[in-house]
Amino acid sequence: MKDFKRYIVPLLSLSICAVLLSGGWLFWQNQKKLSPKTDQFVQDREALGRLLQNSSEIHRLWLEGEDSREWALEKAACLKHYKVTKAFDESLLRCNPILIQCHALFDKKLNYRLVPSENPENKDKWYRYLSKSNSNHVKLTSGGYLFSIEDNLSHKRLDLLLSDSCQEVYLEKRAYAYGEALTGKESLETEDYRFDNFGQNIYIDRHLVTNAEVNEWIDFGNPDFTKGLTKKEADELFLPATHLLYKQMENYCSFKGRQLLMAHYADAATFLPMDLSEVLPAKNIRSPYYWTKKRSEFKADCNLIYAEECLAQKAFQLNSTSPSWAGIMDSMGGVFEAFRNPIDPESNLKASSFYFDFKSPWHRLGFRAGWDGEGFDLRHFDFRGINPKLTVEKFQVGFRCMRESK
């Protein structure tokens, strides 16, 4: 008798109950044809029950991440396995295959196992990343992680496609403005660029793309686009990927079914609205800082801006600062961040970073430098003449993705 194998897609928008009911019905229909023996039917039904129960538990763990009881029990063994010794923001474990793999490795009471990849180059991976760019599966609407679990008793298998979307933030529908607020004579001579996102849904990555995520692109993406890239391991896994050229950043986001974050949407997600209840204000008054509505309330605080002085206080990590009003992390300070800027293509870089001290004029929202996207030494950057005594040999440039839907 052939092994039972069906795709179950526990995406965030799906009801677990619907998955259990439909899966059970399909299994029963197939078993009527395949097994006339009652005892065999009972065994197969019990196997399905175990597989569906385990799929529900895996989905729960997928969403709970660092808040799960499993992480509390398996954290030490998991970090040792991946050779991670430095602190990192553990919220990155939500919707993260590393946690699912560790649970399968270190919980000895499980009655299932994860089936390793059949690709000899990815035998350390017990999953595949599927997107429209590397899969022709007709039911695939967005990217996800495909796991195959096998019941220990019956050796029957069930495929789980887990959604890659719980690290996104939704941009509220309202009118926004691009760039820093103009003052004085300049504000009278230049028209304020305003836009809105009515009629569309914008989702932005909460955090900068990590090295672990780029590793997945190297493993499962088109090798023509990842040529020359090397995978990062150990303590670098949860750090931002800062070694990709601009075109590679665009290709990575495309692999994920997304696009490189556009500059005006970055502004929308970081400038604090004066009145959250007013979705169409007559004017978009903007502060240079994401935590306040007042231009005068600058704070030399490493929890708000990870500037040069912060390097001596605490090691840099991803999500080192507080979230913006929309929920995105590291909107000021840390590493540089590249954008796609359809309004002013040469202003495509958030320069607010740990390369500049708190007094630097670069620590302002909407105030951007330029990057040619071809390298990381000084000649590839345009700091608009504001470049005090920089001696950096190689800059770090991070990025994040976004997606639009109607």
Q: Are residues 21 and 39 in the same domain?
A: yes
Q: Are residues 246 and 392 in the same domain?
A: yes
Predicted confidence at residue 150, as pLDDT, reads: 92
Distance CA(65)–CA(77), nearest Å, equals 16
Tell me which of 97-111, 114-128, 294-308 is least confident: 114-128
238 contacts 270 by C-beta, under 8 angstroms: no
The mean pLDDT of the chain is 87
- The 10s digit of each residue's pLDDT in 16-59 is 333 333 444 444 445 445 445 677 767 778 888 898 999 999 99
**Is the four-CA dihedral 217, 219, 224, 229 of positive or negative sign?**
positive
Q: Are residues 120 and 221 in the same domain?
A: no
Q: Are residues 37 and 91 in the same domain?
A: yes
Proportion of the chain above pLDDT 90, given as a percent:
69
Q: What is the CATH number of the domain that holds 230?
A: 3.90.1580.10
Domain boundary, last residue among 163, 178, 206:
163
Count of structural domains within the chain? 2
Is 2 inside any structural domain?
no
Is 97 inside any structural domain?
yes
**Is the pLDDT assigned to residue 193 strictly greater than 80?**
yes
Domain boundary, last residue among 163, 196, 213:
163
Q: Counting Cβ atoms within 10 Å, is residue 185 exposed (0-12), middle (13-18) or buried (19+)?
A: exposed
Q: Are residues 151 and 257 in the same domain?
A: no
Q: Are residues 273 and 131 in the same domain?
A: no
Q: Are residues 193 and 68 in the same domain?
A: no
Domain boundary, last residue among 108, 140, 163:
163
Q: Are residues 131 and 223 in the same domain?
A: no
Host domain of residue 312: 168-405
368 strand-pairing partners: 350
Predicted confidence at residue 16, as pLDDT, reads: 39
Distance CA(150)–CA(161), nearest Å, equals 15
- The 10s digit of each residue's pLDDT in 311-352 is 999 999 999 999 999 999 999 999 999 999 999 999 999 999
Is 1 inside any structural domain?
no
Q: Are residues 52 and 135 in the same domain?
A: yes
Residue 188: pLDDT band with limits 50, 70, 90: low
